Amino acid sequence: MVSESQVLDSMRGIIDPDLGRDIVSLGFIKQLRIRGGDVSFTVELTTPACPVKEQFRTDCEQAVKKVSGVTSVKVDMSAMQAKKRPELAINTLTRVDSVIAVSSCKGGVGKSTIAAQLARQLQREGLRVGLLDTDIYGPSVPTLFNLHRPQLMMRENMLMPITVDGLQLMSVGFVLGDSPAVMRGPMVSGYVTQILHQTDWGDLDYLIIDMPPGTGDIQLTLVQQAALDGAIIVTTPHSLSLVDVSRGILMFEKVNVPVLGIVENMSYFVCDQCTKKHYLFGHNAATLKKRFGLQTLAEFPMIEGISNLENKNAGANIAPLKELAENLHRAVGMGRVKRSDLPVVTAEPGNIRVVWPDGSESRLPSRSVRAACQCAQCIEEFTGEQLLDIASIPTTLEAKAISVLGNYAVSIAWSDGHSSGIFTWDRLRELAN
């Protein structure tokens, strides 16, 4: 007689590559049924777009078939439902599995192009995808897709997205046309809110929101009203500002939106003679990882014609785009599993106390941690020269607030008024040794 424990034990060697644990202890195996030698169960993945879905199915079938007495194995695949915050939920988004913001801290970095190319790539993978352009002063979707005067349709007082090759599109530019958006903040926020509330997206796997650049009122309206599953920050090496990237991270984290990673656009160009990558403005991926603890989801080279998305196969041959989509799937999936293996950071008089996942503790003097801040107010971002006068740090310095930033770092607000420092787990480890 085949037992439930035998079936489960057979799959304990199947490890989720992102979470580093077996799928049984992660609770992925659901609805296990055993009838004689016939075994059936469901593998509940973190996201329907999991890039190793078929590999999990194959591994499970092969593992369970090896159990003595098993004659047949039926494996169904499902996915966790995103946990939407009810106080933020917009009813038009309740049938959207993942809502992802693509943001930049300044204009001109190619954010809209990356957002649109990402939406195209996800749609090519067979996913149901929508792209929402909310940049009211410079909407890009009409130009990217060459849709300057589409006929918008209403159904039951709801705007219907424009469908292009199966990809659903909505832009403030579709509503305003070619007229300049000459309006003040409250009116701008009103337009954005109306687009959010009155677009009928239906069933989607992903809704990509192309955010306006910056961290002002419009951005806060968006993140406060739409239950975002995560944000991607786009930057470029030649306009890289650690102050702006830091502000973007802190804006999202303060409203409980995890930053999934960073995209470095126009990172390099490939010589057509020698095929060598040339980093004209430096290679900053390692710097971003060290400063913020965030994964670089992809590095895009300078590509001629990347902003023309009229053709459904636009971007199909761009390798970093496929890398970005796969890393997005993984980041969304990891975000849906509660992590219990993160350090716990608290403030004590004169110290920052860190309890590590293995149970060990570190007590770091508050002044030493403050002196080690690597934000752009304390370190010159290009030369690495220290700008902070360590002697100016008060001897009575205390941490006033500590905020956990996703799975990667903490932000500390100090009694001297400084609050832009981000400390990754690796940085705290360095200070503890």
Cβ-proximal residues to 299 (8 Å cutoff; 6+ apart), any chain: 263, 264, 267, 268, 285, 320
Domain boundary among 79, 103, 127: 79
Q: What is the CATH number of the domain that holds 227?
A: 3.40.50.300
Q: Tell me the per-residue pLDDT of 170-218, one tens digit each, with 9 for 90 and over.
A: 988 887 765 555 455 556 666 777 787 788 998 999 999 998 876 666 6
Please, which residues bridge with residue 404 across strands?
410
Please report the pLDDT score of residue 89 as a whole number.
Answer: 46
Q: For residue 145, which of 124, 125, 175, 115 has the smallest C-alpha distance?
A: 115
Question: Rounded CA gap, 10 and 67, in Å?
Answer: 7
- Residue 86 within any structural domain of the chain: no
Could you count the other beta carbons within 10 Å of the beta carbon of residue 205? 19
Report CA 169 to chain centroid distance, whole Å: 20
- Residue 331 within any structural domain of the chain: yes
- Residue 84 within any structural domain of the chain: no
Could you count the other beta carbons within 10 Å of the beta carbon of residue 297? 24
**Along the 433 residues of the chain, how does pLDDT read in single tens digits?**
889 999 999 999 999 988 888 999 999 999 999 999 999 999 998 888 888 889 999 999 999 999 999 999 999 999 887 655 544 445 667 788 889 999 887 777 889 999 999 999 999 999 999 999 987 777 888 889 988 778 888 888 888 999 998 999 998 888 776 555 545 555 666 677 778 778 899 899 999 999 887 666 667 767 767 778 889 999 887 655 566 777 778 778 777 788 899 898 888 888 777 778 877 766 666 666 777 778 889 989 888 888 888 888 888 889 999 999 999 998 888 887 766 678 999 999 999 999 998 889 999 999 999 999 888 788 876 667 888 999 999 999 999 999 888 777 888 999 999 987 889 888 899 998 8
Task: For residues 349 and 330, state if they share a domain.
Answer: no
- Residue 85 within any structural domain of the chain: no
Domain boundary among 26, 47, 79: 79
Please report the pLDDT score of residue 88 as a whole number.
Answer: 47
Distance from first CA to last CA of the chain, Å, rounded? Answer: 54
Sheet of strand 38-45: strand arrangement: 29-35, 38-45, 72-79
Task: For residues 314 and 376, state if they share a domain.
Answer: no
When divided into structural domains, the chain yields a total of 3
Task: For residues 328 and 277, state if they share a domain.
Answer: yes
Domain boundary among 311, 335, 359: 335
Question: Rounded CA gap, 230 and 90, in Å?
Answer: 16
Task: For residues 177 and 255, state if they share a domain.
Answer: yes
Q: What is the CATH number of the domain that holds 358?
A: 3.30.2020.30
Task: For residues 166 and 65, state if they share a domain.
Answer: no
Task: For residues 239 and 102, state if they share a domain.
Answer: yes
Q: For residue 232, which of 216, 254, 210, 217 has the smallest C-alpha distance?
A: 210
Task: For residues 97 and 199, state if they share a domain.
Answer: yes
- Residue 225 within any structural domain of the chain: yes
Please report the pLDDT score of residue 310 as a whole number.
Answer: 84
Task: For residues 95 and 234, state if they share a domain.
Answer: yes
Secondary structure of the chain in HEC code, one letter for each residue:
CCCHHHHHHHCCCCECCCCCCECCCCCCEEEEEEECCEEEEEEEECCCCCCCHHHHHHHHHHHHHCCCCCCEEEEEEEECCCCCCCCCCCHHHCCEEEEEEEECCCCCCCHHHHHHHHHHHHHHCCCCEEEEECCCCCCCHHHHCCCCCCCCEEECCEEECEEECCEEEEEHHHHHCCCCCCCCHHHHHHHHHHHHHCECCCCEEEEEEECCCCCCHHHHHHHHHCCCCEEEEEECCCCCCHHHHHHHHHHHHHCCCCEEEEEECCCCEECCCCCCEECCCCCCHHHHHHHHCCCEEEECCCCCCCCCCCCCCCCCCCHHHHHHHHHHHHHHHHHCCCCCCCCEEEEECCEEEEECCCCCEEEEEHHHHHHCCCCCCCECCCCCCECCCHHHCCCCCCEEEEEEECCCEEEEEECCCCCCEEEEHHHHHHHHC
Task: For residues 355 and 329, state if they share a domain.
Answer: no
Burial of 109 (0-12, 13-18, 19+ CB in 10 A): buried
Question: Rounded CA gap, 199 and 99, in Å?
Answer: 14
Could you count the other beta carbons within 10 Å of the beta carbon of residue 1? 7
The predicted model scores a pTM of 0.79
Task: For residues 305 and 373, state if they share a domain.
Answer: no
Task: For residues 73 and 107, state if they share a domain.
Answer: no
Question: Rounded CA gap, 373 and 370, in Å?
Answer: 5
Task: For residues 396 and 274, state if they share a domain.
Answer: no
Q: What is the CATH number of the domain that holds 69?
A: 3.30.300.130
Question: Rounded CA gap, 282 and 302, in Å?
Answer: 14
Question: Rounded CA gap, 267 and 112, in Å?
Answer: 16
Sheet of strand 351-355: strand arrangement: 344-348, 351-355, 361-365
Range of the domain at 395: 344-432
